[in-house]
Amino acid sequence: MAINWRPGQDLVMAYRGGRLAVPAVPGAGKTHVLAHLAADLIATGAVGQGKILIVTAMNSAVSNFRQRISRILAEKGIEGKRKFEVRTLHSLAVQILQEKTEVVLVNKDFNIIDEEQRKHILKGIINDWMRKQRQRWEGPLGNQPDLRQLEKWREQVADFLLAGISTLKGRGVQEPQAADWIGTLPPDNPLGWLLEVYLVYQRQLSREGGIDFDDMILKARDLLRLDQQLRQRLSQKWTYIFEDEAQDSNPLQEEILRLLSSSHGNLVRVGDSNQAIMGTFTAAEPELYRAYCRDPLVQKVDLLYASRSCQQVIDTANWLVRWVTEEYPVAACRNALEAQFIQLAPAGDSRPNPVVGGFPVVMCTYRNGEEEYQGVTRYIALAQKTYPGESIAVLVPTREIGAKMAETLAQEGIAARIVGEDLGSDLKRAMYGLVRGLKYLGSPDDLKAWIELWQDFFALELEPGDRETLLTFLQGYRPEELLYPPGQQQTLELLDALQSQEAYTVLQQGLRQVRDWLEASLRLVPDQLVLYLAEDLELKKEELALAHNLAGNIRYQLQLYPEWRLKEIASNLPVLEPALKKFALKVEEMMDSIDEKSVTICTCHKAKGLEWDIVFVIATNAYPYTGKLHHYSRSEYKLPGRIINLNAEAKAYLKQLQGMAITGNPLEEAKLEEIREKLRLFYVAITRAKKRLIITRAREYQDKNGKPRDSEAPTFWKEMANFVRVAGGKIYE
């Protein structure tokens, strides 16, 4: 069946070569179009002897793209699975390094340091540095700071150093440069502190024959730079290169893709600059994609027609774009959003926009935070009765606020799911960890027990695509081959097979944990082994009570059958399991009802790419939605008469050392960039709504000491309220 492509989509589908930029508004169907374009290029033979490489930021998107493209090709009657690859940047780096490992790796016995190992190593290095350099990092506090102030500042410095290593690597900084730059910086310069920690960390990795995930990307870039023949070979292998979520690209990723496409020039980059919200947490630089879109040698096709939201929500989002680009009071931030406006899907479109009467946008101001949580809860209860079957989400700026919102909902008997924090209940996970763990330890050669342990416990919280890949990989090995590999395991092949940093980290952590469990099983009786597992799993409260219940039942079994050992206890677990399941089943029943009846609670950052019928955007205050230069932000540290922003200072000096022009005050520029990103974050939040949008704030909130503090409205609040009121929406002050 032929697809009636929307304006813009038709031009993308006509693409056959060259450099292409595809800016796409929220809900424009960019993944749908990109998947169809890939399938079309394969079906028409445009890829030749090569294949299409699709690079995406999220592991979950890898599985999504694979399934979509495979399905489209199957509908065309084409077997084309070997004609495309979908990879994250990390898995792409692994693929490149596999081409010539001897050129870039320290030695053949290198180890890839997973994320947990990396944090552990870095925290040790940072603690040691802070102990030895106390006078330097305490200097900004002046003489005799109070203990509370000192501890808060210490946490600020430690967090800055921990996060800064990836930023340095994302900007391509390597050891020789770092060593040279340190001598040019004064002792109190935060970039100097970061470079010192960076050098110690890299030297420790080198001694241990390790590289982390960021190193792999750096080394892949270096290899492509140095080896023209390799670039040519990979260009023949990947005759088209697509980049999804290009607004979140960083300098290294962009350079790698440009190098890979330098021979044939077939580079398609799809993204939305107005949804660039990762700069605070990563090395992402939204300006890179904007510059690509402006390049006169790049064809640009806008995808502006979207069917996600009703006309009223679209009008509200477009108002925000127009107001920011034309009237935002801080003129330097008027470039926060691109002047691209969402259009309704054309008449007759197969996916029309929702149609809702009136103007279903509401803005509410409450006296304080507690009243806001209670007011939103009442509104949700009313919405569930009035609009049964419609999905509801509460978008929050921080996890702490999300937890408070969930607690208030629970008090009123409203089920809620916090995205990213309860993919499986704690009790369910505890039960599976204990039962599946014991079952495997009783029969370490039982392949079924081995797979069940990973399926129901270790891999439980992975994204579905990563989970499936990991379980498929595990089925290709006997447990002992992974737990105790002969010699050095083929690390790159392992990571390439998994194609996911998260899956690799889960595998390595799980293997380490199982080795410890196997050792403990040799010296502990079964009931004590259960409590050992509970301690190792860090079970708390109800989950720990579950472990004690299981241990007590096992102790009773051993009294009845004193000759039993772990193998017999494990084989008898089906008899003990029903008692454990009774409590867990209640949790499972609630979890089963979540999709249809519960409320989703999600941070605005995690909401990108998701959508709901009814969306509440709460805690919409000047903090955390920084809007003016005098607004306080999380990246700043207040001292009497002075504000310190370690990230801003370090970033400014790093740009200077890398030969970039520095204009104005680094602290002010950092605040301006934060304002821009917060405006984009609010835009992302409101464009998640399909039918109804409710935005709330409080005039007062409690600080960490429980004291009430005035809370300023965000910069856009007054003007947006005027727009909503005139359009026919409700404003409650």
> Is residue 26 a known part of a binding site?
yes
Give the pair of three-digit tokens for residue 78: 């084409």
> Is residue 77 a known part of a binding site?
no
Whether the CB-CB separation of 75 and 112 falls below 8 Å is answered with no
Helices (H), 227-310: 228-237, 251-260, 286-294
Q: What's the rounded Cα separation, in Å, for the pair 198 and 192?
A: 10
Residue 417 one-letter amino acid? R
> Is residue 442 a known part of a binding site?
no
Torsion of CA 701, 704, 706, 709, to 10 degrees: -30
Residue 563: DSSP 8-state: T
> Is residue 50 a known part of a binding site?
no
Q: What's the rounded Cα separation, in Å, for the pair 530 and 430?
A: 11
The upper half-sphere exposure of residue 647, i.e. CA atoms within 13 Å in the direction of its Cβ, equals: 24
Peptide bond into 624 cis (omega under 30): yes
Q: For residue 519, what is the enclosing H or E element?
A: helix 501-521
> Is residue 2 a known part of a binding site?
no
> Is residue 28 a known part of a binding site?
yes
Q: What's the rounded Cα separation, in Å, for the pair 539 and 457?
A: 14
Instruction: State whether residue 25 is helix, strand or coil.
Output: coil
What is the CA angle 273-281-675, rounded to 5?
55
Q: Which of 225, 215, 305 is nearest to 259 (CA)?
A: 225
> Is residue 30 a known part of a binding site?
yes
Q: What's the rounded Cα separation, in Å, for the pair 286 and 517?
A: 46
User: Which residues share a beta bridge with 243?
Assistant: 55, 269
The upper half-sphere exposure of residue 245, i.e. CA atoms within 13 Å in the direction of its Cβ, equals: 23
> Is residue 579 a known part of a binding site?
no
Q: Which of 147, 129, 150 is nearest to 139 (CA)?
A: 150
Whether the CB-CB separation of 660 and 584 falls below 8 Å is answered with no
Number of Cβ within 10 Å of residue 183's Cβ equals 7
Residue matched to tokens 């505890």:
430
Residues with Cβ < 8 Å from 707, sequence gap 6 or more? Answer: none
Residue 550: phi, psi to the nearest 5? -65, -45
Cα distances (angstroms) measured from residue 267 to each of 15, 54, 273, 606, 607? 11, 10, 18, 28, 28
Instruction: State whether residue 686 is helix, strand or coil.
Output: helix
The upper half-sphere exposure of residue 410, i.e. CA atoms within 13 Å in the direction of its Cβ, equals: 11
Q: Which of 64, 69, 34 is nearest to 244 (CA)?
A: 34
Q: What's the rounded Cα separation, in Å, for the pair 319 and 340?
A: 11
Residue matched to tokens 């059958």:
561
Torsion of CA 495, 496, 501, 504, to 10 degrees: -30
Extract the annotated binding site: 24-31
Extract the annotated binding site for ATP: 24-31
